[in-house]
Chains A and B, each alone.
Chain A
Amino acid sequence: MKINWSKYSAPLAFYPLAGKMIPWFGTVAALTIAVGLYIGLLVAPTDFQQGEAYRIIFVHVPAAWMSMFLYVVMAGWAAVGLGLNARLSFMMTQAIAPTGAMFTFLALVTGAMWGKPTWGAWWVWDARLTSELILLFQYAGVMLLRTSIDDQRRADRASGVCALVGVVNIPIIYFSVQWWNTLHQGASVSMTAAPKMAAIMLTGMLLMTFGFWMYSLAVILSRVRCVILERESVQFWSKLSSVAEVAEVR
């Protein structure tokens, strides 16, 4: 079966597709996060150095990964939108920003919770922490720029450029633990080397990451549906001829 992808670049065609996908992503997210938390909080052994406090990493590390990943995805959609002038791309950019900001905030808060028992301080002015905080400001900037411009088209494009410029910060966050001598520990997991942690811990963390991923997809798709409804309301209702169709789209 050949799927006509360009068909779904139209917001009206994407709306029902997103609606069909949301329950699947949502269910998978709930299941994997539940299993991940079970492994992380109950199965994984206590760390010999950090004690029980280390268990926050099952939320902290995946949240921090997601915060950077979602920013890149957001900027990617902005680039597609600017390049191809596609409405749906900008809607995706708009839908991703709050979730990305939420994960950034979550990473900062869980980091502080971990820092207090381990480092003895809620916050240190470390390169990793500072650059993550800047990422939060960047999400805020992109969102606020969009809301301050009344003209929809200009709001989309201006916040797109703003998001793209901010991508500079992502490698800085990622490599900050290597470039500077920071208090924040270096990466324990990387693509190229064997992970420096027990297999069961890694399993829990990867499950949580996958769960957060699915959660983001579900939430972003729900939000993009709201955005489509809000922006395309006139076209939307004029296209639907009967009550039955309205029910079907839902």
Chain B
Amino acid sequence: MTQPSLWETLWGIIWRDLLLAMRRRSDVAISVLFLVIVASLFPLGVGPEPAVLRTIAAGVLWVAALLACLLSLGRVFTADYLDGVLEQMLLIPQPLPVLVMGKVFAHWMVSGLPIVLLSPLLGLQFGLEGEVLGTLVLSLLLGTPTLSMIGSIGAALVLGVRGSGLLVALLVLPLYVPVLIFGAGAVTSSMAGVGGEANLSLLGACLVLSLFFAPWATAAALRIALE
């Protein structure tokens, strides 16, 4: 039997996780619905003045996206951890960071990508339009994979720990702050007419850094969790 190449392994993991997610579609729907509801609560809370809504839009939508990402982190490894598949995955003669990368990418496809696709609609709710709306989508497209990458470290660290849901929030949210600042900053500066390029570049830098470092850290955390 020939050993599958790195790409085949990566693709296999992604395909498997996507298939599993599609078998349990309600899980995916929950985090998306959560985002919509949280974003809709703010106009009810602060009042429907368009000017006010437009100023808080960037921050609110980004915080809502961040919380939706956080909420879905439990799904990255928990199911595989509980039924023992994760332990088998650690034994696969392929680099663990590659496997992690595949799992996180699949997780982003089912939890991050819907947020990106839905964001123009939510932006319209807050009175954003034109170029600003485009910047919002672009910033989320660059930012949500970073959130998934960073989040996977926390998710792996708290596997099987009591109170893991709240603990992961405490571990991961501080690390989410730069992404939130740059993401919301891109939208705000685009609204101010100076263009969001600087902040978008920084978001891209965050993404590249997290793509490089997070799989290693997550792999180390998984090995510790399953020792």
Interface residues of A, Cβ cutoff 8 Å to B: 82, 130, 134, 137-138, 140-141, 144-145, 148-149, 153-154, 157-158, 161-162, 164-166, 168-169, 172
Q: Scoring B residues 3 to 41 as 1 if CB is less than 8 Å from chain A, else 0, what string do you get?
A: 000000000000000000000000000000000000000
Q: Does chain A have a CB within 8 A of B173?
A: yes
Query: Is the beta-carbon distance between A148 and B174 smaller than 8 angstroms?
Result: no
How far, in whole Å, are A168 and B157 apart by their CA atoms in the complex?
17
Interface residues of B, Cβ cutoff 8 Å to A: 153, 157-158, 161-164, 167, 170-171, 173-175, 177-178, 217, 220-221, 224-225, 227
B178 neighbours in A (Cβ, 8 Å): 172
Query: Is the beta-carbon distance between A164 and B217 smaller than 8 angstroms?
Result: yes
Query: Is the beta-carbon distance between A157 and B224 smaller than 8 angstroms?
Result: yes
B227 neighbours in A (Cβ, 8 Å): 153-154, 157
In the complex, how many angstroms separate the beta carbon of A126 from the nearest chain B beta carbon?
Answer: 12
A165 neighbours in B (Cβ, 8 Å): 153, 175, 217
A138 neighbours in B (Cβ, 8 Å): 174
B167 neighbours in A (Cβ, 8 Å): 144-145, 148
In the complex, the chain A residue whose C-beta lies closest to that of B172 is A141
Query: Is the beta-carbon distance between A161 and B163 smaller than 8 angstroms?
Result: no
B225 neighbours in A (Cβ, 8 Å): 154, 158
A130 neighbours in B (Cβ, 8 Å): 177
Query: Is the beta-carbon distance between B221 and A158 smaller than 8 angstroms?
Result: yes
Query: Is the beta-carbon distance between B221 and A168 smaller than 8 angstroms?
Result: no
In the complex, how many angstroms separate the beta carbon of B90 from the nearest chain A beta carbon?
Answer: 15
Query: Is the beta-carbon distance between A158 and B153 smaller than 8 angstroms?
Result: no
B217 neighbours in A (Cβ, 8 Å): 161, 164-165
